Structure 1
Amino acid sequence: MIVAFLNQKGGVGKTTLALHLAGEWARQGLRVTLIDADPQGSALDWSEQRAREGSPRLFGIIGLARDTLHREAPELARGADHVVIDGPPRIAGLMRSALLAADLALIPVQPSPFDGWASGEMLKLLSEARIFRPQLAARFALNRCGARTIIARETAESLAEDDPPVLASRIGQRVVFADAAQSGRLVSEIDERGPAAREITRFAAEVGRFG
């Protein structure tokens, strides 16, 4: 299965979710390749930091920030159980290519009405892609949710009425994700039994059911 994390809006946590989904699947013994399709190369930076820290390699990361992604990703998928694409913000050509490559598009949003409004252009691209890939599945993914906040609940209820709907699993706003990004680690490697690690496990299980 090829899963693409995409949103026109930056700063919604695409890279964090992509790395942790790939990492969780790899920890389960699956063969995973992550494609860094963001010209900023944040996933590649994370991988380099991981190597500097001497942490073991969990999955392969390939930089592929070009609009031929839909032609190249299926070839990469032949050698893996799953391919995860960390998509770019605000580059329509690259996003179209990632959508054409994907089996599942995940649109991370934060619990804010502004993120909901900003996803309009993303949904237009999704509709265009479904002309060529009618089987393309898509879901919103609620990320950086404050604990038990009213706005998180209201955002989830609002997105539940949309197409695409929202995943049931949510990822909290936790400092450990920033620590993981800086050290080239996963939250499960920092605190295996902590709430962030449990959220990622539930998230990966829900996404995995699409495969």
Structure 2
Amino acid sequence: MIVAFLNQKGGVGKTTLALNLAGELAGRGQHVTLIDADPQGSALDWSEQRSHEGLPRRFGVVGLARDTLHREAPELARDVDHVVIDGPPRVAALMRSALLAADLVLIPAQPSPLDGWASAEMLALLREARVYRPELVARFVLNRCGARTVLARETAETLADHDPPLLATTIGQRIAFAAAAQTGRLVAELADATSATREIAAFADELLHLQIDGGAQ
């Protein structure tokens, strides 16, 4: 399965989700490669920091911030169980290539009235990709979410009426994600990040269930 985290709005947590999903899948005995398709190279920086900390490699991280991604990602996928793409913000050619490479597109959105508007161009690119890839599955994922806040509830209700639909799993606004990233770690490797670890595990469960079910549109 090739999973791409995409949204033209920056700062929605694509890299954090991509890294922790890759780590969770690897922790289940799966072979995973993460493609850093963001010219900023945040996932590559995380991998380098992890190496400096002397931590074992859980999954491969490669930089492919180019518009040939739709040809190169499937080649990489032949040797692993899953490829996770950390997509670029606001680079249409790269975004199109990632969309054509993916089996599943995840669009992170934060509890904000502005994020829906920011995703409009992303959704237009998704519709364009489905002309060539009608089987392409996509979902919103609500990230950095205070589950009990009115804004989070209203954002979830708004996205519930959208195509693509919203994943049932939400990811909370938790310090653990930033603390782990700064030291090249995953939340599952922190002793005091039980809630964040549970959320990532539930997130992976839901995505694997989508894969098993064939990802109903």
Shorter-chain TM band: over 0.9
Alignment of 1:134-149 (within 5 A): 134-149=134-149
Which residue identity lines up with residue 60 of structure 1 in the other structure?
Answer: G
Partner SS state of residue 176, structure 1: helix
- In the alignment, the residues of structure 2 paired with residue 153 and residue 119 of structure 1 have an alpha-carbon distance, to the nearest angstrom, of 18
Alignment of 1:78-97 (within 5 A): 78-97=78-97
- In the alignment, the residues of structure 1 paired with residue 147 and residue 209 of structure 2 have an alpha-carbon distance, to the nearest angstrom, of 26
Which residue identity lines up with residue 40 of structure 2 in the other structure?
Answer: Q
* TM-score normalised by L of structure 2: 0.96
Q: Which residue of 2 aligns with 1:107?
A: 107
- In the alignment, the residues of structure 1 paired with residue 126 and residue 140 of structure 2 have an alpha-carbon distance, to the nearest angstrom, of 12
Which residue identity lines up with residue 179 of structure 1 in the other structure?
Answer: A
Give a deviation string over 1:70-119, Cα, whole Å, max 9, x none. 01110000001000000000000000000000000000000111001110
Partner SS state of residue 170, structure 2: coil
- Contact 2:18/2:85 (<8 A) preserved: yes
The aligned length equals 211
Q: Which residue of 2 aligns with 1:208?
A: 208
Alpha-carbon distance, 1:17 to partner? 0.2
- In the alignment, the residues of structure 2 paired with residue 93 and residue 15 of structure 1 have an alpha-carbon distance, to the nearest angstrom, of 19
Partner SS state of residue 108, structure 1: strand
- In the alignment, the residues of structure 2 paired with residue 209 and residue 54 of structure 1 have an alpha-carbon distance, to the nearest angstrom, of 34
Q: Kindly report the root-mean-square deviation, in angstroms, between the aligned alpha carbons of the 2 structures.
A: 0.9
Give a deviation string over 1:18-66, Cα, whole Å, max 9, x none. 0000000000000000000000000000000001001110000010000
Q: Which residue of 1 aligns with 2:98?
A: 98
Partner SS state of residue 195, structure 1: helix
Partner SS state of residue 209, structure 1: helix
Partner SS state of residue 184, structure 1: coil
Alpha-carbon distance, 1:144 to partner? 0.2
Alpha-carbon distance, 1:209 to partner? 1.6
* TM-score normalised by L of structure 1: 0.98
Q: Which residue of 1 aligns with 2:199?
A: 199
Partner SS state of residue 162, structure 2: coil
- In the alignment, the residues of structure 2 paired with residue 193 and residue 181 of structure 1 have an alpha-carbon distance, to the nearest angstrom, of 13
Which residue identity lines up with residue 51 of structure 1 in the other structure?
Answer: S
- Contact 1:32/1:59 (<8 A) preserved: yes
Alignment of 1:2-81 (within 5 A): 2-81=2-81
- In the alignment, the residues of structure 1 paired with residue 95 and residue 29 of structure 2 have an alpha-carbon distance, to the nearest angstrom, of 29
- In the alignment, the residues of structure 2 paired with residue 75 and residue 110 of structure 1 have an alpha-carbon distance, to the nearest angstrom, of 33
- In the alignment, the residues of structure 1 paired with residue 191 and residue 155 of structure 2 have an alpha-carbon distance, to the nearest angstrom, of 29
Partner SS state of residue 114, structure 2: helix
- Contact 2:35/2:86 (<8 A) preserved: yes
Name the % identity: 74
- Contact 1:104/1:210 (<8 A) preserved: no
Q: Which residue of 2 aligns with 1:166?
A: 166
- Contact 1:142/1:170 (<8 A) preserved: yes
Could you list the runs of 5+ residues in structure 2 that have no partner in the other structure? 212-217
- Contact 1:41/1:63 (<8 A) preserved: yes
- Contact 2:187/2:193 (<8 A) preserved: no
- In the alignment, the residues of structure 2 paired with residue 46 and residue 193 of structure 1 have an alpha-carbon distance, to the nearest angstrom, of 18
Partner SS state of residue 210, structure 2: coil
